[in-house]
Amino acid sequence: MTAEKARLVPMVSRLRKARVLTVGDVMLDHFHYGSVERISPEAPIPVLRVERETTMLGGAGNVVRNLVALGAEARFVTVVGDDDGGRTVATQIKDQGVPDHPIVEIGRRTSTKTRYIAGAQQVLRADRETTVALRDDAKAELLAAARNAIRDCQVLVISDYGKGVLSNDVLKALIEVARKAKKTVVIDPKGMDFACYRGADVITPNRRELAAAAAMPTNTDDEVIVAAQHLIKEHGFGAVIATRSADGMTVVTAKGTAVHLPAEAREVFDVSGAGDTVVAAVAAAVAAGIGLAEAAALANVAAGIVVGKVGTAVAYAADVIGALHHQDLTSAEAKLLTSKQAKDRIQVWRRGGRKIGFTNGCFDLLHPGHLSLLKQAKAACDRLVVGLNSDASVARLKGDGRPVQSEAARAAVLASLETVDAVVIFEDDTPLALIEALRPDVLVKGADYDLAQVVGADVVKGYGGRVLLAKLEPGYSTSATIARLGGNKKKESA
């Protein structure tokens, strides 16, 4: 790891101190994944056999998802319609741990984008949305909510997707609200005229947006700098951070400094949402008191992570630290994941055509019986995820004195095994919620269970997966081993 990247590592933990308000156009992103094996007899179009579906916050909602993933405290002011999409947005905002409810405008249609993906190819996108400006009553409610929320935040992010929430008068009022509250304004812009963003501290256009807004070429480093300097002078911006895909990022400030950051991505699957990650990382870092150059460097690393994932993905703080360390995904530390991280990792694996297996247990005092189970499980799939009962869960299931080893120790041992690709600790007594979230292709359990007793078997079989009952190695039991150790202690004391 270079000295410059080593300097960034401790800054990641500082992001937990950040409090950021996001205002903008929320969307609901639906993804339908499947395979195409034939052409429809009704028309010359492919027939997509849908195998799995996901729904997540997009647009400004993806900025919020990235803020939460990085550890920042997020507030969110947005507008939805009085429809199923709006209600789903509200639920997903709550699921992110954000205390705000979206403003509802009657008659408005919540922006929803539905993507149909066959293997690695997107074959269709269907949009449902209203893009007209908000009515006056909704504008007033939005500005009042923003004034209230910004009091406890250090940075205001304005995420403009041109869907009507951020009309010019609303943008001017929001920037004025932030100015009066002495808060930093970071804007992800839209369109060709950036005059509506006048006075922003940081603006984050991509190369195409920069070229259009400045009416200048942006093919080289020097051209990007000149175009950014023009916008800074024209509209009073404090800085421009231009994202340039494979060419990295360029940071230009009103003070005359310019820094170019090479792209960090090692493998690109999907660029969807990378701009949201950049604005979130920059805002969180600035809110945490980190200088703009370092904030941009962290954002550059985070963007490199999300383009290696699928869909509107996010970069977690642990992902960023791992990337700064050039951590291999096969290392034990990188295998320890949260449920959300595991879902992202599984999406990448599936995009590569990998079959996902899942097994679970307490794995207290790992023995040859455990190793045999894990070996059989890995033989049935390409990537094996192990659900591990937390300490509290083990204590409820096994009683006093258990577990013998802490969840951290048990997870570290499992993650060190070549047969295991990911370890996720769960708090419940059963892994049902985790199985529902991860949707493995193969669910593996020991043959001492009947199929009807296997938790999650009906779920996995319901979407076309299979359940494997692994052969047991006789004579091995953690409980029996502990009992024998207890007996030996009594003999020694006698």
For residues 439 and 359, state if they share a domain: yes
Query: Which ranges in 265-367 belong to alpha helices (H)?
Result: 274-287, 292-306, 317-324, 332-335, 339-351
Domain membership flag for residue 341? yes
Q: How far apart are CA 347 and CA 282, in angstroms?
A: 26
Same-domain check for residues 186 and 276 = yes
Q: In what order do the strands lie in the sheet with 112-118?
A: 46-59, 26-39, 112-118, 121-128
Checking if the pLDDT of 489 tops 50, the result is: no
Residue 461's Cβ-count burial label (10 Å; 0-12, 13-18, 19+) is middle
CA angle 56, 61, 63 (to 5 degrees): 115
- Domain identity same for 84 and 208: yes
Please determine, for residue 1, whether its predicted confidence score (pLDDT) is greater than 80: no
pLDDT tens digits, one per residue of 219-259: 999 999 999 999 999 999 999 999 988 888 999 999 999 99
Burial of 187 (0-12, 13-18, 19+ CB in 10 A): buried
| C-beta separation of 154 from 18 below 8 A | yes
DSSP-derived pairing of the beta strands 121-128 and 112-118:
antiparallel
Residue 271 maps to a domain: yes
Last residue of a domain, one of 324, 354, 379: 324
Last residue of a domain, which of 269, 302, 324?
A: 324
- Residue 302 shares a structural domain with residue 348: no
The CATH number covering residue 350 comes to 3.40.50.620
Q: Which residues contact 210 (CB under 8 A, 6 or more apart)?
A: 218, 224, 227, 228, 231, 240, 242
- Angle, alpha carbons 13-189-101 (nearest 5°): 65
Q: Does residue 270 sit in the same domain as residue 237?
A: yes
Whether 146 is in a domain gets the answer: yes
Residues 289 and 339 placed together within one structural domain of the fold: no
Q: What is the pTM assigned to this prediction?
A: 0.79
Q: What domain range is 127 assigned to?
A: 3-28+53-110+119-324
Domain assignment of residue 297, yes or no: yes
**Domain co-membership, 287 together with 372:** no
pLDDT for res 493: 42
Examine the domain organization and report whether 356 and 387 are in the same domain: yes
Instruction: Strand 356-361: give its sheet, edge to edge.
Output: 336-337, 422-426, 383-389, 356-361, 442-446, 466-470
**d(C-alpha 404, C-alpha 451), whole Å:** 29
Q: What is the pLDDT of residues 383-434, one digit of tens each?
A: 999 999 999 999 999 888 889 899 999 999 999 999 999 999 999 999 999 9
- Asked whether the beta carbons of 303 and 319 are under 8 A apart, the reply is no
In a domain, 80, yes or no: yes
Q: How far apart are CA 151 and CA 77, in angstroms?
A: 13
Q: State the total domains in the chain.
A: 2
Is 41 domain-assigned? no
Question: Do residue 259 and residue 279 come from a single domain?
Answer: yes
Query: What's the pLDDT tens digit per position in 145-181?
Result: 999 999 999 999 999 999 999 999 999 999 999 999 9
Residues carrying an active site annotation: 276
Question: Do 180 and 319 fall into the same domain?
Answer: yes
Dihedral pair phi/psi, residue 347, rounded to 5°: -60, -40
Give the pLDDT of residue 490. 43
Q: What CATH number is associated with residue 272?
A: 3.40.1190.20
Whether 288 and 361 map to the same domain: the answer is no
Answer yes or no: do 247 and 366 share one domain. Answer: no
